Structure 1
Amino acid sequence: MPDATSLTPPTDTESAHRTGRSLVEYLPEGTEHRTGVWLADQRQRRDRLDVEQLRALAELGVEWAGSAV
């Protein structure tokens, strides 16, 4: 399963707020990643993420991760 390093910050044409469970990203190798489900799972488990993982998510623009660090 991909981790935070496989995610990239949204570009100008993408909405930073488009993080519902239905968000699917299509990767260059032709596969798809259900990013919305992955982010929802991370949020539910945020109390078990270490500081480094939360910091990485915050750097990607995940607002709830920044407030948890």
Structure 2
Amino acid sequence: MTNSGAVSASWASRRPYKPGKPPRRQVRCPPSGRGAEAFQKGVQALAQYTEREGGGVPGRAHVEQFPDGTEHRTGVWIANQRARRDRLDADQLRALTELGVQWATV
């Protein structure tokens, strides 16, 4: 309150919202580069897992071994995709759905 009893509007200048700047969730970039490669590798690991196990989703601690000897932390990857599902595009969600991931239905 000011000396005159009116409420000061100085709090409005400290607000983090900036008009004209869209919220982050509305900005969507096409899948390309390192992120797209990482997603494809995760899909490949999940496909290998579901083929071998006959379906299902691996637990968080699961690590998938590729034939070339490299490892993929498939359980952590699928948990991260679920946490970021609002940022996945329709093609990515479709790929996960085809592999039996129930939360990825389009």
TM-score, with length taken from structure 1:
0.79
Higher Cα Rg: structure 1 or 2?
Answer: 2
Match status 1:63 vs 2:99: no
**Aligned-pair distance for 1:27?**
0.3
Distance 1:58 1:17 in 2: 11
- 3-state SS, counterpart of residue 67 of structure 2: coil
TM-score, with length taken from structure 2:
0.54
1:6 corresponds to which letter in structure 2?
Q
Please report the RMSD computed on the Cα atoms of aligned residues, expressed in angstroms.
1.9
Identity of aligned residues (%): 55
Q: Name 1:6's counterpart in structure 2.
A: 44
Unaligned runs of at least 5 residues, structure 1: none
Comparing both chains, which one has the higher relative contact order based on Cα–Cα distances under 8 Å and sequence gaps of 6 or more?
Answer: 1
Q: Name 2:30's counterpart in structure 1.
A: none
Match status 1:47 vs 2:83: no
What number of residue pairs does the alignment pair up? Answer: 66
1:28 corresponds to which letter in structure 2?
P
**Aligned-pair distance for 1:32?**
0.8
**Aligned-pair distance for 1:15?**
5.4
Distance 2:61 2:72 in 1: 11
Cα pair 2:57 2:101 within 8 Å, conserved? no
- 3-state SS, counterpart of residue 21 of structure 1: coil
Higher helix share: 2
- 3-state SS, counterpart of residue 82 of structure 2: helix
